[in-house]
Structure 1
């Protein structure tokens, strides 16, 4: 059964939002912005309703998007950081946030987007829903990120990549992973070849840029989806 599109009647009122009028006006300006993807989530972050641009950006069929966890539409490397921000909305620590994300659109294409989320409350405390506005980067530029959950790395390679990203050299890595120095260098060489980079610094940069390392996470952590 197809779920309804997000219409004007679904817009929260200033009373529901509990915001200052200026913030509410700013939110509506984003709502009406051409190309803006607007989606309403329940407190479990499940997609309930969305506008036509949202369905166009992610999938033509509303039945394929509604009912999904919103975080599934984000690249794995940014999910944890964004979920933490949503948690702060739900526990009342904040009433809105704005950030940049990498989302996965139709046919698995990754794209960058601004994201604004606002908690819609019932009364003074309970969060009834969350209104999210996505504004894809001008020009609709796609980014070179791994989106098909390809198992790129072995467990050992993942731990070595995390260590390199944390600034560890060969000897500390060997001690931590119970490998010889030659063993560490062997796996580092494999990583350089897999990610097609010339050195360790470029390896870390490349791993972040294609989404293999989680964004906003310390110590560095490889996204589990990409570990064999």
Structure 2
């Protein structure tokens, strides 16, 4: 694919990031040259804006070492804030364990690339869908790093139309741990996540609930009726879990 090859060539030195849109073919240009309606014109413009967003990850632990601002913005983060985040904590796949195995195959040199359908969440908790392509950049001593291309396949899902907050299964477990007084280290151990992954998810919950700190987050979740009454440790009600 033109986008992937051009991006890989520019990132082989691990020092720059560029990801250009795939130029339309001549036939596509002719077909798209004169949209027949305002709706088709908007769809055409939207398709022209779609592209893959680029990041670079460590070959040791799949943590982000650099990213385009647009890549980070997909998750409601800046380029600085996404640094060090574990890609497996940022992205959700149908089988999280399988996604980690595919990353491990790259880092161990048993595969050169893979593509996977994934979902993620933006800064206000909306879900987006994407195709993830990860390629190992090799040097004489083995994988030197991972080039990550994330291609959005649709618009973010709208927030709950009734104004009710719903959480992913993992975010619900994180919120329950915070409500129960668990530390970042304890949450990381119990949920089999990295500490950075826990901090990322807690931070995202804080932003989503407009809470300045963990106690305020728990108070607001209680105020929304998200926890089962009289239960300890706290449990998020199933109605609030996607």
| TM-score under structure 1 length normalisation | 0.50
Q: Which has the higher contact order (CA 8 A, sep 6+)?
A: 1
| TM-score under structure 2 length normalisation | 0.47
